[in-house]
């Protein structure tokens, strides 16, 4: 429930307003003058602030200015028994959320609180989004090459929508990281992010995994089970390595995307689902279509937005940044003092043929931390990383 601060020098007004608000189950705090109210608003967080305009020493307009200077985001509702249109306009111009005249009207108070609460929620959502974007920019996707900057810009543009995204790239390039970033920057971020590795599930089980099954649908179906589509409802379903999905499962996924409904294996009831679909593959789906291994209509349903993640060999300039990033991360995980690289060691890492991409780089850094000295040398890189190019 919202926490509300009342700033008014008239005790009777504070009491009357408190009774109204507490009856509506709001948490209420009081201040008997402008200075006390400003100090409280700076020290604690309030969802809404009621502030009288006419007060001795520090009046309501001065309190309002003080709140703005202190960057207090709480919506401020000005109240006055000497109000007129000019006063109201002046208060709104100075940043007040609304203006209410005395004697206070119950219905007007409650409507204003509801509207102010909506504003407070928007402010909080914006704060969370800013923090998420900052975190996303600083740590989620590491790199300074043009290709990485383009991916980050694309994610920022696409994430707020519900557009389906197909992420392509070699194994270990970070396709899942792109999918998670899309989810974390979307309006679905509070809902589940469900991942399915289509290559790791046997063809005979993929449909049950995706759509669930009814009890008795097959020999081992001893009870009803929800599938990943249902579990991801309201959130994001990440179909990794979708190029390995069976033809039968492809047909059912296509129907789910077309109609937003699924049927559990062994069931006849249509179940509505609302999950954003992000798919990824290391295969050339165009070639798979030509060879009859992948449905062209499903491809077009999935590939509304295409994001290609380059291999590490295509972005060698990022190797030192990534190496230092993983050095700090892995040392922290192992609880050891952070080690460092010789310049020639980083040059040796850049010359390595990274067939396993970023996943392989992280493993090599962990190996060097465990087996190498406090300062990783080029010789240690050659010994433990086994570069394939001179």
- Mean local confidence (pLDDT), 119-147: 63
Q: For CA atoms 126, 325, 307, 347, give the dihedral sign.
A: positive
- Cα–chain-centroid distance for residue 92? 33
What proportions of the chain, in percent to the nearest 5, are helix, strand and coil? 50, 15, 35
Q: Which two tokens mark 299?
A: 């491809």
The string of pLDDT tens digits covering residues 282-297 is: 999 999 999 999 999 9
Lowest mean pLDDT among 28-42, 61-75, 86-100, 362-376: 86-100
Ranking 25-29, 102-106, 131-135, 313-317 by mean pLDDT, the lowest is 131-135
| Least confident span in 101-105, 127-131, 178-182, 201-205 | 127-131
Q: What is the pLDDT of residues 208-258, one digit of tens each?
A: 999 999 988 887 787 888 899 999 999 999 999 999 998 989 999 999 999
Contact in structure between 161 and 298 (CB atoms under 8 Å): no
Residue 151, both tokens: 């991916």
Beta-carbon count within 10 A of 128 CB: 12
Question: Is the separation of the CB atoms in 103 and 78 below 8 Å?
Answer: no
**Which structure tokens are listed for 217?**
């649908």
Among the listed residues 369, 363, 318, the one whose alpha carbon sits nearest the alpha carbon of residue 341: 369
Give the span between the Cα atoms of 39 and 263, in whole angstroms: 59
Calpha distance 41→49 (Å, rounded): 8
Q: What percent of the chain has pLDDT over 90?
A: 65
Query: pTM for the full model?
Result: 0.63
When pLDDT is averaged across residues 111-127 and rounded to a whole number, the result is 74
CA distance 38 to 351: 61
Rounded distance, CA 193 to CA 209, Å?
15
* Average pLDDT, rounded, for the chain: 89
Show the tokens assigned to 240: 């990794």
pLDDT value at position 91?
A: 87
pLDDT of residue 274: 94
Q: Closest Cα partner for 20 from 143, 106, 119, 127?
A: 106
Q: What is the dihedral of CA 230, 234, 240, 243, to 10 degrees?
A: 70
Can you tell me the mean pLDDT for 144-164?
Answer: 94
Query: Could you tell me what percent of the chain has a pLDDT over 70?
Result: 93
Instruction: Provide mean pLDDT across the span 67-77.
Output: 90
* Farthest-apart Cα atoms in the chain, separation: 85
Query: What is the average per-residue pLDDT within 70-86?
Result: 83
Q: Which has more confidence, 12 or 132?
A: 12
- What's the rounded Cα separation, in Å, for the pair 182 and 164? 10
Average pLDDT of the residues in 305-334: 95
| H or E, element range at 48 | strand 48-52
pLDDT of residue 130 exceeding 80: no
Q: Is 142 exposed, middle or buried (0-12, 13-18, 19+ CB in 10 A)?
A: middle
- Asked if residue 121 has pLDDT above 80, the reply is no
- Answer yes or no: is pLDDT of 376 > 60: yes
Domains of the chain: 3-124 (3.40.50.2300), 141-308 (3.40.50.300), 312-384 (1.10.8.60)
Residues 6+ apart with CB under 8 A from 187: 160
What does the alpha-carbon distance between residue 210 and residue 204 come to, in Å, rounded to a whole number?
A: 12
Give the H/E segment covering residue 285: helix 285-290
Measured distance CA(208)–CA(187) in Å, rounded? 28
**Burial classification of residue 314, based on how many CB atoms lie within 10 Å of its CB (0-12 exposed, 13-18 middle, 19 or more buried):** middle
pLDDT given at position 134: 46
To which H or E segment does residue 349 belong?
helix 343-351
As a residue count, the chain comes to 390
pLDDT at residue number 103: 83
pLDDT of residue 135: 45
The answer to whether the beta carbons of residues 271 and 261 sit under 8 Å apart is: yes
Q: What are phi and psi of 157, to 5 degrees?
A: -75, -40
What pLDDT, on a 0 to 100 scale, did the predictor assign at position 126? 58
Query: Is the Cα torsion angle 158, 160, 164, 169 positive or negative in sign?
Result: positive
**Residues 177-213: tens digit of each pLDDT:** 999 999 999 999 999 999 999 999 888 889 899 999 9
Listed range (112-116, 122-126, 153-157, 203-207) with the worst mean pLDDT: 122-126
């Amino acid at each position: 429930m919202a926490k509300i601060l009342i700033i008014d020098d008239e005790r009777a007004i504070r009491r009357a307003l408190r009774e109204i608000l507490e009856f509506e189950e709001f948490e209420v705090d009081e201040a008997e003058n402008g200075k006390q109210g400003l100090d409280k608003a700076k020290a604690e967080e309030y969802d809404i602030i009621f502030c009288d305009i006419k007060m001795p020493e520090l009046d309501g307009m001065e309190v309002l200015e003080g709140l703005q200077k202190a960057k207090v985001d709480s919506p401020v509702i000005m109240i006055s028994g000497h109000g007129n249109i000019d006063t109201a306009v002046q208060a709104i111009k100075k940043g007040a959320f609304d203006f209410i005249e005395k004697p206070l009207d119950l219905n007007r108070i409650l409507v204003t609180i509801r509207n102010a609460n909506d504003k407070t929620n928007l402010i909080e959502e914006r704060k969370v989004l800013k923090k998420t974007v900052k975190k996303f920019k600083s740590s989620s996707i590491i790199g300074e090459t043009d290709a990485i900057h383009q991916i980050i810009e694309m994610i920022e543009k696409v994430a707020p929508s519900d557009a389906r995204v197909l992420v392509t790239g070699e194994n270990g390039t970070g396709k899942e990281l792109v999918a998670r970033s899309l989810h974390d920057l979307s309006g679905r971020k509070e809902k589940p992010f469900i991942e399915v590795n289509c290559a790791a599930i046997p063809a005979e089980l993929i449909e049950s995994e995706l759509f669930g099954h009814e009890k008795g649908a097959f020999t081992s179906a001893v009870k009803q089970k929800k599938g990943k589509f249902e579990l991801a409802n309201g959130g994001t379903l990440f179909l990794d390595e979708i190029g390995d999905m069976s033809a039968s499962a492809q047909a059912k996924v296509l129907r789910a995307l077309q109609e937003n409904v699924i049927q559990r294996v062994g069931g006849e009831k249509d179940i509505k689902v609302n999950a954003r679909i992000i798919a990824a593959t290391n295969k050339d789906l165009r070639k798979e279509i030509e060879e009859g291994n992948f449905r062209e209509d499903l491809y077009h349903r999935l590939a509304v937005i295409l994001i290609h993640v380059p291999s590490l060999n295509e972005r060698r300039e990022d190797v030192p940044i990534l190496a230092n990033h993983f050095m700090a991360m892995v040392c922290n995980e192992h609880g050891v003092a952070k080690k460092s690289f010789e310049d020639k060691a980083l040059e040796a890492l850049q010359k390595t043929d990274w067939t396993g991409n970023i996943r392989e780089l992280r493993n090599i850094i962990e190996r060097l931390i465990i087996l190498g000295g406090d300062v990783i040398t080029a010789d240690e890189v050659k010994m433990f990383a086994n570069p394939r190019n001179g």
